Each structure stands twice: as structure tokens, then as C-alpha cells.
């Protein structure tokens, strides 16, 4: 063997790996292929190949194996066959394609369950009854999972699904609230420089997953769940929900995974800072880089059930304020996790498909901060004892919420309210092929209050080891009916109002005391700052109604504008002369402006593209320390622009330029931050026309 041509362009196209930076770099490119599918090698020989007297064998061994072993599947020896033979999907093969002069072309196929990662290749050649020669290929061969191979556990049907969940580089993560959901674009960038190497580094150095398990997507998924957070293993991202982000970057300022993963790969220290959507975005990038179909999923009103009782117990005082020292359970305004698509051979039939994998460090699972993979169908069926962590995910999307009035250590708890429909709302992901929202709620749970949903809840409760059981409100007082609401579609900078309507349906008058309160709430459910509190008294005549209103002006809440701030409102009502108390709470997110992106001319590959990003300042005051961040085709590091202060109701604008390097559908993302407004974003999807030929022009975004 004189030399080996890895046929980068041909293999990159057929294996959908040509976009990897490893394949396109001018500095020592490496071959990246997917298991269970033939890849091509062109061998140059010292003389023409004689099928009658010459024999060739390929030896592959995994670079992480200290002692490569055929029995442990970390070493494989394959003789070159002259023609394809019938074989099982779990075997490697080498088949001669053609022989022309001093060159032969061979097809190598890694087993559909092969260990993923970096492999070294050697080739032994010999003539019958003579000595052998050994050729060591200088470059590594990366082998990944294969969603296109029906014999691979991660195979997913449908070309559109494979494109969306494996090769699409820009996605949308849903945030906000279930009443006002909005999406922020996230650059997964799984093909970017160092991303694949960092993903494999996480398996090797951080997860401590045994090498022999690298071929199992279920165990790889569990390993990645642990490796993307840092509390117990110095993984990729350091979580921070304190509001103090000194020494790092605000979670909301990240607009993609590649920068985070490159920084981690370089320093091997946790990157500061992240929250649930950052953990999920990074995990999804790692999965797609490794070849596992993955997507990010947002659950509004997601419960954090510390005791895994499948109930969320919340305790309030006489003012209607939640007591955090007692109320350990939380309801996040929204929570984001990842899903991966894989078979579950470790379980009985029926649990293949989407699996929840959550990288946010919330609870220990087998002594590490990780969650999943939990089959989504098991969550819906209430199979809370199935691996992995199905019980925890079930509570996140379907726990019942119980409100208790706490009156002191020696006083009995008073049940104020039971909410069986307030958890697990509007479960969302990016739709296939568009930036629209796809609703996944019915995949996780039966319709609220339906017979099936209640039976599943009882099934889950019976399986719990917690002593808590179901509680239902037995309300005897029905004289006064209450309705609590806040006006919809509140735009930042404007005033908003909170309403409590009380209707007396009895034949006697009632006096009612009402406490209305508005506060800021972090998206994970913790109450932060009281904005305004008002106490009112109403005397309601028989068969009539009264309304209590609290108005909040911009001046009331202007000091509490921040990243992912949600506004929490609550009402506590007492009917004098009775023991009846009414408690209600809600939350909402004020509508933020969106950035508009405009381009000068049509985008063309390898041609400078000029554009601008802008929006109107909706605040009645000046914005300072204004920064635009731009991500788009041809930008490996992104662009950062500091602009002058933006007066009230003025336009914040920046001009930018970039040079797309590939043609096809691509996305430009803009993000804005300032001393007053943060997390302002926008995007524009464009189709880049073919321009000058790129050396890997066969690999388009499509």
C-alpha cells in the first residue's frame, strides 16, 4: 500500500458529514462517517492488484482503548472480500468495488452498533506464501451514530425529520410564558470547529462512560446529560440563577453552543454561566454532532418535585405570600430540556422513540446530576418506575398543585386550593422545517381532567414511596364567587392592571377583604421582589358584584426589568364572618420588541453581504450600554457592535457585513442588550445563491 485517499468529498456527501469543520479544514482534514453505511477508500498500490494471489486486511482499533480487543469490540480485523456477502447488521465488512491499474476502490462498512469515536486504521497486504506489509494510515477516522441506517438504534423515519434533528444547525428555543410564548433562535453549530472533538472529549474525560458502552445511544444520552453541567464533574456549563453574573456571561447573552463548547474544550473549565435553555441547547448540539437525532423542548409551568410525591405543596401566610422555607417544591415559569430519538432495547417493546434528557442540574440520579433518558410514552402512561427518571419527568409535566395556609407550628394546615391543571402547559418544540411552534402536550399527557389523566395520576401516586396522597378541596361556602385576571398583551413601557371580580350569589350582603400583590418572579418559580401591594375592602350586596383593581405604571416596575423576568400576581380574599378564604395566582411576561433584519441585495455564496438590524426603543427613557450581537453564515466567532445611547422611542440600529461560505437556506440571528432591556432578538432566514465554487461545494446547507 503506497497511499490511501479517504475520498472526503464523496464520503462527506453520502454520509451527510461534509459540513464538519474536520472535513473542510485546509489543515490536515479528517474523515467523518456514520456507522452501518459503506464509506469509500481509494488505495494506491505499488503494483496492480491480483485477486488470485494478493490479500488485503483492514485493522481498525479505537484510539481510547489501552488494550484493543476484538472481544470488547475496540479492535476489528476485516479481510477484503471480492464481492459483497450476506451478513448481519452488527458486523464490519470490506468489499472490493473496482481495480484499475495501481489503484483499487473499496467499500468499508462499520457495524450498525459499532462503538462511536475516533478510530485508527492499519492495512496489511500480502502475497500467498510470502511475507506481509503493514500500512498505517496517518489520519483518524471518526465514526458516528447513523439516523439514516435502519439497523442503527437511532434511525428515525422521514428525510425531513433526519434533516431537522441531525443536520440543521440553527433552531428555536421557546421561552416566555404559556400565555405569551416566544422563541429565541439558538445556533447549535454541530459542524463547527472543535465541536465534535469536544463532544467526544465529554464522553472520555467527563462522563467516565466505559468505552464499550459508546455504541449505546441510551447510555451515551445519560452520559451527556451529566457532562453538560458542572456541580459534580466539572462539565461544560456552570449554572447560575442568582441574578449576579459577575465573572462570566449572562445566560441570556449566549446565542449558540459553539462558543461555549470551544471555550470549554480550550480551558477544560466550566463556562460561566448557564440556565436551563443553555444546558439544553448545548446538549442538543452534542447529540447532533454525535449523530443522535435531538431537539429542545420547553414545558411551561414545569414542576420541580423534590420528594417525587407527584404533588407540588405550596404554603402561604396570612398575606398570601409563599413561604420559601417550607415550600421546597417549585413551579418553573418554563423549563427546557432535550429529547433524543432512539430505541430502548433495555425495556420491553413500546418505549422506543423520543426520550427526555435533561442536563440542568436539579436532582441527583444514581449519585450524579443528570436526568434521563426517560421515554416520553412512559411519562404519558405514568410508568414512573421505568428507567431513567420517568417519575421525576412525570411530576414536571403532570403533578397536582396543593396550596396550604400555614398558621404556625402547632396549628393545623388549612387547605386553600387544589390545582389539577396548572402544571405541564403548552409543551413546545420547533416545528420540522420551519420556525413555527409544534405542540407536544398530548405526547406527554392525556387531556387534563379526563378520566385517563386522573387514572394515570392515581397510578403514579400508588407507585410513589412518598407518604403524601391525593387531597381534594371540599369547599362548602359558595356564597361569593371570585374571578382573578390580568389584562393581556402588555407591552413593556406601558401600564398594566390586575383585576379581582367578586360576585355575591347569595341573598345576604358580604364584606370581603382583598390583598392584591405584584412581584417579580424568576422563570424557575422563585419570587424575587415585591413591586406593589394594595389592600382593599368591598361590601357586596346580594345578587351583585364588585371589582378590585390595582394599576401598575412603568415607574412601578421599571427597576425590575431583567433577563427572563416574569411578573407574578396574586390575590388573597377573606369573607368576614366565615372561615372561607380565596387564593389565586398567575404570572405573565411583558411583551418585548423584536429586532428587524434587512439585507442589501440577495445573498450569494463567497460574496460580501451587507445588512442592518434595528428596533424601536419602547421605553419612556434612554437605554445605555447598548450592544448588538450578530450570528450568521460565514461568521465563526460572531459580530459584536457597541452603539451609542438610544433615547426614548428612538431607533436602535446597527449595520453589519458577512460573507456566506455555503449556499442554501441559512439563518441570520441578532441579539441586543443594554442597561434596561436585554434578551431582545430577531432572525431572518435567507436562501444563499450559489457563487464561486467552494472546495466542498457539494455540501450545501440543504
701 — pLDDT class (breaks 50, 70, 90): very low
The one catalytic residue among 198, 276, 308, 570: 276
Tens of pLDDT along 569-585? Answer: 999 999 998 878 888 88
Q: Say whether pLDDT at 605 is over 70.
A: yes
- Percentage of the chain lying above the pLDDT 70 cut: 95
87 — pLDDT class (breaks 50, 70, 90): low
The pLDDT value recorded for residue 469 is: 38
537 — pLDDT class (breaks 50, 70, 90): very high
Tens of pLDDT along 179-231? Answer: 889 999 999 999 999 999 999 999 999 988 999 999 999 999 999 999 999 99
Q: Is 453 known as a binding-site position?
A: yes
The pLDDT value recorded for residue 415 is: 77
CA atoms within 13 Å, Cβ hemisphere of 225: 31
At 199 the three-state DSSP class reads helix
Q: Say whether pLDDT at 454 is over 90.
A: no
The pLDDT value recorded for residue 477 is: 64
The pLDDT value recorded for residue 314 is: 87
Q: Say whether pLDDT at 234 is over 80.
A: yes
φ, ψ at 410 (rounded to 5°): -100, 5
Q: Which of 5-14, 58-67, 462-471 has the lowest mean pLDDT?
A: 462-471
The pLDDT value recorded for residue 702 is: 39
- Percentage of the chain lying above the pLDDT 90 cut: 74
- Mean pLDDT on 33-50: 97
Cβ neighbours for 551, distance < 8 A, ≥ 6 positions apart? 495, 496, 497
Q: Which of 172-176, 307-311, 548-552 has the lowest mean pLDDT?
A: 307-311
The pLDDT value recorded for residue 412 is: 60
Q: Interior CA angle at 281 toward 654 and 634, to 5°? A: 45
- Mean pLDDT on 651-673: 93
The pLDDT value recorded for residue 21 is: 95
d(C-alpha 621, C-alpha 493), whole Å: 9
CA 556, 560, 566, 570 torsion-angle sign: negative
d(C-alpha 20, C-alpha 290), whole Å: 11
At 392 the three-state DSSP class reads helix
Tens of pLDDT along 259-271? Answer: 999 999 999 999 9
Q: What's the whole-number average pLDDT of the chain?
A: 91
Q: pTM of this prediction?
A: 0.84
Q: What domains, with CATH codes, occur in the chain?
A: 3-144 (2.60.40.10), 159-468 (3.90.260.10), 480-588 (2.60.40.10), 596-688 (2.60.40.10)
φ, ψ at 211 (rounded to 5°): -55, -35
Q: Say whether pLDDT at 698 is over 60.
A: no
Tens of pLDDT along 617-650? Answer: 999 999 999 999 999 988 878 899 999 999 999 9
- Mean pLDDT on 23-48: 95
Buried-state track 577-616, b at ≥16 Cβ within 10 A, e below 16: eeebbbbbbbbbbbbbbebebeeeeebbbbeebebebbbe
- Mean pLDDT on 391-416: 84
User: How would you class 279 by CB atoms within 10 Å of its CB: exposed for 0-12, middle for 13-18, buried for 19 or more?
Assistant: buried
Strand runs (DSSP E) across 489-617, as ranges?
496-504, 510-521, 527-540, 544-552, 566-575, 581-588, 596-600, 609-616
The pLDDT value recorded for residue 85 is: 79
Q: Say whether pLDDT at 417 is over 70.
A: yes
The pLDDT value recorded for residue 679 is: 86
The residue assigned the cell 503506497 is: 2
The one catalytic residue among 192, 313, 358, 564: 358
The pLDDT value recorded for residue 88 is: 64
DSSP letters for 266-311: HH-SPEEEE-HHHHHHHHHHHHHHHT--EEEEEEEEEEE-TT--SE
Whether 335 sits among the annotated catalytic residues: the reply is yes
Whether 276 sits among the annotated catalytic residues: the reply is yes
The one catalytic residue among 304, 335, 510, 683: 335
φ, ψ at 430 (rounded to 5°): -70, 135
Whether 198 sits among the annotated catalytic residues: the reply is no
Amino acid at each position: 500500500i503506497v497511499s490511501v485517499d479517504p475520498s472526503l468529498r464523496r464520503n462527506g456527501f453520502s454520509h451527510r458529514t461534509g459540513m464538519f469543520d474536520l472535513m473542510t479544514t485546509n489543515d490536515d482534514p479528517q474523515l467523518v462517517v456514520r456507522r452501518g453505511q459503506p464509506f469509500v477508500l481509494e488505495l494506491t498500490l505499488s503494483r496492480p492488484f491480483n485477486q488470485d494471489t494478493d490479500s488485503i486486511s483492514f485493522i481498525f482499533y479505537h484510539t481510547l482503548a489501552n488494550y484493543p480487543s476484538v472481544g470488547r469490540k475496540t479492535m476489528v480485523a476485516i479481510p477484503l472480500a471480492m464481492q459483497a456477502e450476506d451478513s448481519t447488521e452488527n458486523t464490519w465488512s470490506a468489499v472490493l468495488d473496482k481495480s484499475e491499474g495501481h489503484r483499487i476502490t473499496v467499500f468499508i462498512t462499520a457495524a450498525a452498533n459499532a462503538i462511536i469515536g475516533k478510530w485508527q486504521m492499519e492495512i496489511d497486504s500480502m502475497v500467498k506464501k510470502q511475507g506481509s506489509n503493514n500500512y498505517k494510515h496517518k489520519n483518524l477516522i471518526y465514526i458516528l451514530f447513523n439516523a439514516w441506517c435502519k439497523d442503527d438504534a437511532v434511525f428515525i423515519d422521514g428525510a425531513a425529520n433526519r434533516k431537522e434533528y441531525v443536520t440543521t444547525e440553527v433552531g428555536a428555543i421557546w421561552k416566555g410564558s404559556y400565555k405569551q410564548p416566544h422563541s429565541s433562535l439558538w445556533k447549535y453549530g454541530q459542524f463547527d470547529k472543535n465541536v465534535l472533538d469536544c463532544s467526544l472529549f465529554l464522553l472520555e474525560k467527563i462522563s467516565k462512560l466505559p468505552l464499550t458502552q459508546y455504541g449505546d445511544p441510551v447510555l451515551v444520552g445519560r452520559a451527556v446529560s451529566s457532562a453538560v453541567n458542572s456541580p459534580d464533574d466539572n462539565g461544560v456549563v456552570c449554572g447560575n440563577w442568582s441574578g449576579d453574573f459577575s465573572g462570566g456571561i449572562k445566560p441570556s447573552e449566549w446565542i449558540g453552543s459553539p462558543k461555549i463548547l470551544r471555550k470549554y474544550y480550550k480551558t477544560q473549565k466550566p463556562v460561566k454561566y448557564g440556565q436551563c435553555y443553555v444546558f439544553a441547547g448545548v446538549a442538543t448540539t452534542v447529540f447532533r454532532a454525535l449523530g443522535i437525532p435531538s431537539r429542545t423542548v420547553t414545558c411551561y409551568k414545569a414542576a420541580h418535585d423534590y420528594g417525587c410525591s407527584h404533588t407540588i405543596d405550596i404554603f402561604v401566610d396570612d398575606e398570601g405570600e409563599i413561604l420559601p422555607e417550607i415550600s421546597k417544591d417549585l413551579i418553573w415559569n418554563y423549563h427546557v430540556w432535550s429529547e433524543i430519538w432512539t430505541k430502548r432495547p433495555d425495556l420491553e417493546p413500546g418505549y422506543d422513540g423520543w426520550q427526555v434528557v435533561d442536563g440542568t442540574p436539579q436532582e441527583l440520579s444514581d449519585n450524579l446530576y443528570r436526568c434521563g433518558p426517560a421515554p416520553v410514552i412512559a411519562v404519558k402512561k405514568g410508568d414512573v418506575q421505568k428507567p431513567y427518571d420517568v417519575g421525576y419527568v412525570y411530576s414536571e409535566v403532570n403533578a397536582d398543585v396543593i396550596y396550604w395556609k400555614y398558621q404556625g407550628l402547632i396549628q393545623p394546615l388549612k387547605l386553600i386550593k387544589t390545582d389539577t391543571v396548572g402544571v405541564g402547559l403548552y409543551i413546545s418544540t420547533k416545528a420540522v422545517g420551519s420556525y413555527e411552534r409544534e405542540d407536544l402536550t398530548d405526547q406527554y399527557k392525556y387531556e387534563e381532567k379526563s378520566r385517563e389523566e386522573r387514572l394515570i395520576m392515581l397510578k403514579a401516586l400508588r407507585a410513589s414511596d412518598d407518604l403524601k396522597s391525593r387531597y381534594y378541596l371540599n369547599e362548602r361556602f359558595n356564597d361569593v364567587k371570585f374571578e382573578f385576571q390580568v389584562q393581556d398583551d402588555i407591552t413593556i413601557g406601558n401600564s398594566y392592571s390586575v383585576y379581582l371580580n367578586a360576585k355575591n350569589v347569595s341573598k345576604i350582603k358580604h364584606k370581603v377583604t382583598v390583598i392584591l400583590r405584584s412581584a417579580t418572579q424568576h422563570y424557575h418559580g422563585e419570587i424575587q421582589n415585591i413591586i406593589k401591594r394594595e389592600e382593599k375592602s368591598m361590601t357586596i350586596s346580594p345578587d351583585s358584584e364588585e371589582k378590585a383593581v390595582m394599576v401598575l405604571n412603568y415607574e412601578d416596575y421599571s427597576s425590575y426589568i431583567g433577563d427572563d423576568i416574569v411578573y407574578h400576581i396574586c390575590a388573597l380574599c377573606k369573607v368576614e364572618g366565615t372561615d372561607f378564604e380565596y387564593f389565586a395566582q398567575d404570572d405573565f411576561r411583558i411583551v418585548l420588541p423584536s429586532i428587524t433584519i434587512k439585507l442589501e441585495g440577495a445573498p450569494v455564496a463567497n460574496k460580501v453581504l451587507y445588512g442592518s438590524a434595528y428596533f424601536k426603543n419602547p421605553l419612556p427613557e434612554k437605554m445605555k450600554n447598548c450592544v448588538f450581537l450578530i450570528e450568521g453564515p460565514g461568521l465563526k466567532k460572531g459580530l459584536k457592535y457597541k452603539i451609542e445611547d438610544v433615547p426614548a422611542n428612538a431607533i436602535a440600529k446597527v449595520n453589519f457585513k458577512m460573507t456566506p461560505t455555503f449556499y442554501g437556506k441559512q439563518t441570520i440571528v441578532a441579539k441586543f442588550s443594554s442597561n434596561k432591556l436585554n434578551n431582545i432578538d430577531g432572525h431572518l432566514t435567507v436562501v444563499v445563491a450559489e457563487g464561486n465554487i467552494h472546495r466542498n461545494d457539494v455540501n450545501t446547507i440543504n
